[in-house]
Structures are given as structure tokens and as C-alpha cells.
Amino acid sequence: MVTQAVILVGGEGTRLRPLTSRVPKPVLDVVDRPFLGHMLDWLSRHGITEAVLCCGFKADSVVEHLGEGEAHGIALTYVHEPEPRGTAGALKFAEDHLHERFLMLNGDVLTDLDLTAQLAAHEATGATCTLGLVSVEDPSAFGLVRLHDDGAVRGFVEKPKPEEIDTDLISAGCYVLERSVVDLIPADQQVSIEREVFPRLVDNGLYGVAHRGAYFMDLGTPERYLDGVRDVLTGRLATATHSLLDAAGIQQSPDASVAGLITGPAWIASGAQIGEGARIGPNTVIGADAVIGAGAAIRDSVVLAGASVGDGAQLYRSLVGHDAEVGADAVIGALAVVGPHAVVAPGTVVPHESKVEADLEGRT
């Protein structure tokens, strides 16, 4: 029985900056809990009781947000890489904590893969490693995984040419591993498990399980982060969060002050204040203690804790970081990101896909 997971959480989340300039991506909130919290909940539902977190960038923030894991029913152990060592190098660094069989996961995806089925397949085939695979509409942008009829991996194709595409399966960053795989990894080096270890296991115990129809989302960009928030709110991805919404798809904290109109699905967190005539939603999150001015219009967006949005401001499919200020009548374009503590002056139009960062004094 597999009860342990190793989760790689060392990335810097550069494509989500400035939201991730001060906090690592795994603890960025996705609706009501850190992104990694959703992953831990999913693991717990499949019988995982402990996890080793391989940390790098701003590791102290991960520890601060997740603690010992009690909120998710998983005991957490933290391993701090002294420098980036790649996916296999991080696993090697954590080897003193590993069971004889364990899950290995990239810590930057939202998913509902059937881990129980993948673990059963691993047991049935006697595999050394079993890759979780998902199908994609456009395989040309990914590394493909080719399987034999019995599920054994017969090869990999990186960024295939059109004539090389004979499958739509890619790796979901979710692996069942025997501890013997760790012996293949040199110590104290930067090593990729996908490019340098798995190819050595082809025809030597490497299998794949296709999770067709499963939800899979890498939240590495503003667009995909917003998509992930929407999918949690709508229930496209089954989570504990979605179960807290009412029949109208709204969760409004009892101590929030709401004078405007809320259209679900939407999440209004504790202490939020929404002014007269403001229109919030759908697919919108207003974080704890955020203040939304009278007549503001916010849809398909996330306003994180402590931020303020002025009277008459308009946000569509955009992100506002914690403690940021958006001035009255400002317009924030689609996929624009206003970073933590940044200030957008009244009446400013922030163009599509722009990034607004705070200066050293917390002002733009």
C-alpha cells in the first residue's frame, strides 16, 4: 500500500510574477486555500497520509502556510534544496525520507487523476515506475509518451513533428516509483527524471496509465491560474471548496459587508467590503478584508486579501495581488496582473496582459 508522496515545490513561478515575486506559487491562494492545499486534499482522498515537500524558492513561506499538514490530514516533511537540482536531483536529495514505494508529483498542477487506479495498475504489472498520462488536443507542443498495448512505455517524442504524432498522451507529472529508481540518480547533481532517468527504464519496468477524461491544469500562467479558479468555483474540478458554495454558487462569509450584486459562482471571503451598486461575478474571488468601491464591476477575476478597488473601477479576467490598490474608475484589462502592494492611479487603463509591480516603497 502506498501512503507517501514526494512533491516538488521548488519552482519560482516566474510566469505568474508579480503575484509570485514574494510568495512561491504553491502557496498562492486558489479561491479559499493555498494551491498546494488542493493537491494535499486530493492526495488524502486516495489514502496518502504523509508527504515530503522538496522546497527551493522561498521555502519558509511554504512552511508558514502549510505547517505540519494537519488541515489536510497529511503529515508533512520539508526538505530544503541548497540549490536547484532538477526533478531527479531533488528526489535524490530527499532519499533518506523515502519509503520503498511512493508517489512523485510536480507541485504545480490542479488535477483529479485517479491515483487509486494508477497505484493498482503499478501493482498489477510489477512495474518499477508507472507514469500518469493525460490526453491533449494539440500534442505538437508537448513531449509525447508512446505505449505498447500492455501499457509498457516504448518511447518518448519531444515536441514531435506532425508526421511523428501517433498518440495524444503526455506526462501529467504524477509517477508511482519503486525506491530502486533513486539508485539510478547521481548525488549532488542537477538531473532531470523525465529526460535522464525515465528513458533508461524503457523496456525495463516503465509503464504508463492513461487517465482519459481527467482534469489537468498547470497553473503556471495568469490565464491558466484564472481558468483553475473558475474550474474550482464551477465544480468542473471536484474540491472541498466547491462543496461550500450555496445553491446560487456563492460563498459569502458571514462577516463580509455586501451592498452590491453578487452573481455566482463567486467567493466573498471574511471581512470583505463591497460597496453600493458594485457588481461582482461570475467566476470571481474577493479575498479577505478586500474593499470594493461603489459601482465597481469585477468579473472572471481574483482580488486577493487586503486589496482595494476604487469606485467605478472595472476588472475583467484580471488579477489583483494582496494589499494592492486600484484607483477609482481605473480599467484593468484581460490577463493583466496588478502585483502585491502595487498602486494603479485613478482613471488609469491597464492594457491587456500588462504587469503592474510595486516599487521599493510599495508604490508603482
The ranges of the chain annotated as CATH 3.90.550.10 are 4-218
Distance set, CA 218 to CA 41, 132, 240, 317, 353 (Å): 17, 15, 19, 18, 18
Q: Which of 58, 92, 159, 355 is catalytic?
A: 159
**Kind and range of the H or E element at 295?**
none
Fold of 245-356: UDP N-Acetylglucosamine Acyltransferase; domain 1 (2.160.10)
Three-state DSSP at 265 gives coil
Domain 4-218 maps to which CATH number in 3.40.50.1370, 3.40.50.720, 3.40.190.10, 3.90.550.10? Answer: 3.90.550.10
CA–CA dist 107, 109 (Å, integer): 6
Residue 137's pLDDT band, with cuts at 50, 70 and 90, is confident
Section 349-360 average pLDDT? 88
The pLDDT tens digits of the residues spanning 228-279 come to 999 999 999 989 899 999 999 999 999 999 999 999 999 999 999 999 999 9
The ranges of the chain annotated as CATH 2.160.10.10 are 245-356
**Are 25 and 13 spatial neighbours (Cβ–Cβ below 8 Å)?**
yes
Active site residue 159: yes
Distance of CA 169 to the CA centre of its chain: 21
Angle between helices 35-45 and 59-66 (to 10 degrees): 60
What letter does residue 281 receive in the DSSP assignment?
-
More confident residue, 166 or 122: 122
**pLDDT confidence of residue 362:** 43
Q: What is the pTM of this model?
A: 0.89
Degrees, nearest 5: CA angle 323-328-332 = 70
CA–CA dist 290, 308 (Å, integer): 6
Residue 324's pLDDT band, with cuts at 50, 70 and 90, is very high
The pLDDT tens digits of the residues spanning 197-241 come to 999 999 999 999 999 989 998 888 899 999 999 999 999 998 989
**pLDDT confidence of residue 26:** 76
DSSP string, 185-245: SPTTS---IIIIIHHHHTTTTEEEEE-TT--EEE--SHHHHHHHHHHHHHTSS--TTGGGS
Which stretches of the chain are DSSP H helices?
35-45, 59-66, 86-93, 115-125, 198-201, 222-234
Section 183-207 average pLDDT? 92
**pLDDT confidence of residue 107:** 82
